[in-house]
């Protein structure tokens, strides 16, 4: 386990790791969150669950790339703003359609939209 200058932890995984095979240089973004958060993002993004075991979930784009993981309990106590958040860049040009996948999900309005193309998305619930 290593840390950047601000103390944010990161792992460097050995070459024989099969879980991160074919992910590229950044293998996974490890998030603190429940199994329900993994289910939420899987449904909202349309990305399949590639791991769902012991309250741990992992999703990955159908086009490949890094995985996004949620380690399940025990969760770290939330102190202030989350250091990791997702900025979504939609391929759609219709501003009204951008939030459509989230409107029928457990997404909540975390704050006023910041970039003018749809709601910022917080954790469910």
Per-residue pLDDT tens, the chain, 125 aa: give them: 788 888 877 888 777 778 888 888 888 988 888 999 999 999 888 899 999 999 999 999 999 999 999 998 888 787 777 666 777 776 666 656 666 666 666 666 665 555 444 444 444 44
Would you state the pLDDT for residue 94?
Answer: 61
CA–CA distance, 114 with 120 (Å, rounded to integer) = 7
Would you state the pLDDT for residue 81?
Answer: 73
The model's pTM is: 0.69
Does residue 2 contact residue 11 with C-beta atoms inside 8 Å?
A: yes
CA–CA distance, 76 with 1 (Å, rounded to integer) = 17
Would you state the pLDDT for residue 123?
Answer: 44
CA–CA distance, 61 with 53 (Å, rounded to integer) = 19
Would you state the pLDDT for residue 35?
Answer: 94
The neighbour count for residue 31, using CB atoms within 10 Å, is 18
Residue 2 forms beta bridges with which residues? 10
Would you state the pLDDT for residue 104?
Answer: 62
Would you state the pLDDT for residue 59?
Answer: 96
Would you state the pLDDT for residue 19?
Answer: 86
CA–CA distance, 12 with 115 (Å, rounded to integer) = 34
Does residue 107 contact residue 122 with C-beta atoms inside 8 Å?
A: yes
């Amino acid at each position: 386990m290593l840390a950047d200058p601000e103390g944010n932890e990161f792992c460097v995984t050995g070459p024989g790791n099969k879980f991160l095979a074919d992910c590229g240089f950044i293998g996974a973004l490890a998030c603190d969150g429940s199994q329900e958060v993994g289910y939420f993002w899987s449904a909202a993004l349309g990305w399949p669950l590639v791991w769902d075991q012991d309250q741990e979930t992992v999703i990955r784009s159908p086009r490949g790339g890094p995985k996004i993981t949620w380690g399940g309990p025990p969760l770290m106590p939330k102190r202030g703003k989350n250091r990791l958040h997702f900025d979504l860049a939609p391929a759609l040009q219709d501003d009204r359609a951008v939030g459509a996948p989230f409107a029928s999900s457990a997404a909540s309005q975390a704050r006023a939209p910041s970039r003018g193309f749809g709601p910022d998305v917080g954790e469910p619930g």
